[in-house]
């Protein structure tokens, strides 16, 4: 038996990452400076966040709208029984920070609906976006925003002992939406929305059959690909870099492992990007009123402006009662409206089936709009989320288009990662 040789040196300071650094191409600086957005803090999100925390990732943004329930606990390393009823994103952020081996780790979180509650400006500030989501519609939205700023998107999905990982980077490769089929999207829309537009009050959602095992495997693969991508972004050559436009499928019941290429669809609706040089950062916030925002823009550009919220949101001003036809004042963004709100007070409770609601909406907001009362609404109230990138057109030349970021919201949305707190 040979004796172990110990080398003592005053210069050498052991760190938590010494074994990782033995990988020839590994750079702990790359890992700790990378900015990662994790969408979803359920079973997969927990495993992914645990991996990021232990490996010393330095900038992590966690988004989830749900509360912790007892049935989560068998799959969520970050939550315990005392957390039931608390917000997943908030508790996950605390645990990631406590678990991190990186003393400089910065964590921010968002408890809410990532689709309508977070602006585009969030997405352009991250290097890799990790999807740990449980539904296709949110995946599609996150993917579209990754396409918008040409950010890599790694989507993880689990079902029983099976898992799927897809790795995309539009326009270098196909995007997530290129690999989806329209039937499954239509099926999910039907569950969540009546007549494809308004939310159902009670979603008859079927809970997916999942266990921790598949979440742990897919999260390991997801973080592995994120590590490769970050190194490539920092011009560190890997023997085998992450491949974009690929889907990996593993079935734990019989150990089938498959690898597919996802071809790019020429008519994919997600294929649209904004050049980062075209985004104008401003001191506007989603808490400014429409009037304040329009004044600011007029002064900045020297012409009257129109804020165009298409296709992100529409603002419904009034509707007709489905039962009696009476006018109903709505004044809400479309995404906040439930299908049962299309009844006047008298008819509420009447049966609701097979109707098409009639309503008026606005997506162009200007100083001389007919709906004058909206000028006192904040941008948030008309459906524009914090840190959004809004489309602004010149009133008399709608081809003259500007992308305006509500940059004043940065300190509210990402206070730790952007060091503004």
Shortest Å, Cβ 145 to Zn ion: 13
Q: Given the complex with Zn ion, which of 151 and 231 has the nearer CB atom? A: 151
268 touches Zn ion (CB under 5 A): yes
Residues 163-182 that bind Zn ion (CB under 5 A): 175, 177-178
Q: Within 13 Å, how many C-alpha atoms sit on residue 191's CB side? A: 13
- The piece of 26-34, 180-188, 267-275, 364-372 that touches Zn ion (CB under 5 A) is 267-275
* CA-angle at 135, arms to 202 and 113, nearest 5°: 70
Rounded Cα gap, residues 296 and 305, in angstroms: 10
- Does 326 bind Zn ion (CB under 5 A)? Our answer is yes
Taking the CA atoms of the chain, what radius of gyration do you get in angstroms?
24
148 binds Zn ion (CB under 5 A): no
350 touches Zn ion by CB under 5 A? no
Contacts of 373 (CB under 8 A, 6+ apart): 331
| CB of 57 or CB of 359, closer to Zn ion | 359
Contact status: 146 vs Zn ion (CB under 5 A): no
Kindly state the smallest distance separating residue 335's Cβ from Zn ion, in Å. Answer: 23
Q: Tell me the closest approach of the beta carbon of residue 270 to Zn ion, in angstroms.
A: 5
- Of 104-112, 202-210, 343-351, 394-402, the segment contacting Zn ion by CB under 5 A is 343-351
375 binds Zn ion (CB under 5 A): no
- 347 is an interface residue for Zn ion by CB under 5 A: yes
**Environment class of residue 262 by beta-carbon count within 10 Å: exposed (0-12), middle (13-18) or buried (19+)?**
buried
| Bridge partners, residue 13, by sequence | none
209 touching Zn ion, by CB under 5 A: no
Q: Which two tokens stand for residue 370?
A: 């007919």
Give the nearer residue to Zn ion in terms of CB position, either 89 or 316.
316
Cβ of residue 79: shortest distance to Zn ion, in angstroms? Answer: 34
Give the shortest CB-115-to-Zn ion separation in angstroms.
Answer: 18
Task: Verify binding: residue 382, Zn ion, rule CB under 5 A.
Answer: no
**DSSP state for residue 114 in the 8-state scheme:** H
Distance in angstroms (rounded) separating the CA atoms of residues 131 and 122: 15
* Nearest-approach distance from CB 267 to Zn ion, in angstroms: 9
**How far apart are the C-alpha atoms of 129 and 39, rounded to whole Å?**
8
Q: How far apart are CA 386 and CA 284, in angstroms?
A: 10
For Zn ion, the binding residue among 107, 156, 270, 382 (CB under 5 A) is 270
The distance of closest approach from Cβ of residue 245 to Zn ion in the complex, given in angstroms and rounded to an integer, is 10
What distance lies between CA 12 and its chain's CA centroid? 41
Q: Supply the minimum distance, in Å, between the C-beta of residue 177 and Zn ion.
A: 4
Q: Which stretch binds Zn ion (CB under 5 A): 37-45, 238-246, 315-323, 412-420?
A: 315-323
If one asks whether residue 324 binds Zn ion (CB under 5 A), the answer comes out as yes
Q: How buried is residue 85: exposed, middle or buried, by Cβ count under 10 Å (0-12/13-18/19+)?
A: exposed
Q: Site size for Zn ion, by CB under 5 A?
A: 11
Return the exposure string of 39-70: e unless at least 16 CB atoms fall within 10 Å of the residue's CB, then b.
Answer: bbbbbbbbbbbbbbbbbbbbbbbbbbbeebee
Q: Is 344 in the site for Zn ion (CB under 5 A)?
A: yes
Q: Which of 78, 89, 226, 321 binds Zn ion (CB under 5 A)?
A: 321
Cis peptide before 240 (omega within 30 of 0): no
What CA–CA distances, in Å, run from 208 to 134, 188, 316, 332, 382?
8, 13, 34, 32, 34
CB of 347 vs Zn ion, minimal distance in Å: 3
Q: Can you tell me which of 94, 323, 331, 416 binds Zn ion, judged by CB under 5 A? A: 323
| Three-class DSSP category at 260 | strand
Of the candidates 132, 163, 133, which has an alpha carbon nearest to the alpha carbon of residue 253? Answer: 163
Q: How far is the CB of 246 from Zn ion (least distance, A)?
A: 14
Applying CB under 5 A, the residues found at the interface with Zn ion are: 175, 177-178, 268, 270, 321, 323-324, 326, 344, 347
């Amino acid at each position: 038996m040979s004796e172990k040789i110990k080398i003592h040196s005053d210069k050498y300071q052991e760190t938590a990452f010494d074994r990782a650094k033995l990988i020839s191409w590994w750079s702990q600086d790359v890992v700790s400076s990378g900015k990662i957005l994790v969408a979803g803090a359920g079973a997969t999100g927990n495993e992914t966040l645990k991996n990021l925390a232990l490996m010393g990732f330095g900038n992590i943004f966690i988004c989830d709208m749900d509360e912790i329930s007892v049935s989560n606990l068998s799959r969520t390393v970050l939550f315990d029984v005392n957390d039931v009823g608390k917000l997943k994103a908030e508790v996950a952020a605390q645990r990631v920070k406590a678990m991190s081996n990186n003393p400089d780790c910065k964590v921010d979180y968002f408890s809410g609906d990532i689709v309508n509650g977070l602006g585009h400006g969030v997405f352009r500030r991250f290097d890799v976006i990790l999807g740990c989501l449980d539904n296709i519609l949110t995946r599609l939205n996150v993917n579209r925003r990754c396409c918008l700023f040409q950010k890599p998107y790694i989507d993880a999905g689990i079902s029983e002992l099976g898992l799927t990982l897809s790795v995309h980077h539009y326009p270098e490769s196909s995007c997530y939406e290129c690999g989806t089929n329209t039937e499954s999207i239509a099926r999910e829309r039907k569950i969540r929305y009546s007549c494809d537009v308004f939310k159902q009050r009670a979603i008859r959602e079927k809970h997916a059959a999942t266990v921790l095992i598949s979440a742990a495997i897919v999260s390991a693969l997801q973080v592995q690909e994120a590590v490769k991508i970050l190194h490539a972004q920092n011009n560190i050559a890997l023997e085998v870099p992450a491949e974009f436009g690929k889907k990996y499928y593993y079935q734990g019941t019989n150990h089938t492992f498959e690898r597919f290429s996802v071809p790019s669809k020429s008519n994919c609706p997600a294929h649209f990007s904004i050049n980062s040089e075209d985004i104008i950062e401003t001191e506007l916030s989603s808490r400014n009123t429409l009037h304040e925002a329009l004044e600011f823009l007029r002064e900045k550009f020297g012409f009257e402006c129109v804020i165009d919220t298409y296709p992100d949101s529409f603002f419904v001003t009034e509707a007709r009662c489905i039962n009696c036809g009476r006018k109903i004042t709505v004044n809400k963004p479309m995404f906040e409206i439930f299908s049962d709100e299309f009844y006047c007070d008298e008819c509420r409770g009447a049966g609701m089936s097979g109707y098409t609601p009639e309503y008026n909406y606005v997506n162009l907001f200007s100083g001389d709009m007919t709906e004058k009362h909206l000028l006192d609404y904040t941008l948030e109230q008309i459906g524009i989320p914090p840190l959004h990138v809004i489309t602004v057109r010149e009133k008399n030349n709608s081809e003259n288009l500007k992308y305006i970021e509500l940059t004043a919201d940065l300190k509210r949305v990402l206070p730790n990662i952007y060091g503004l707190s």
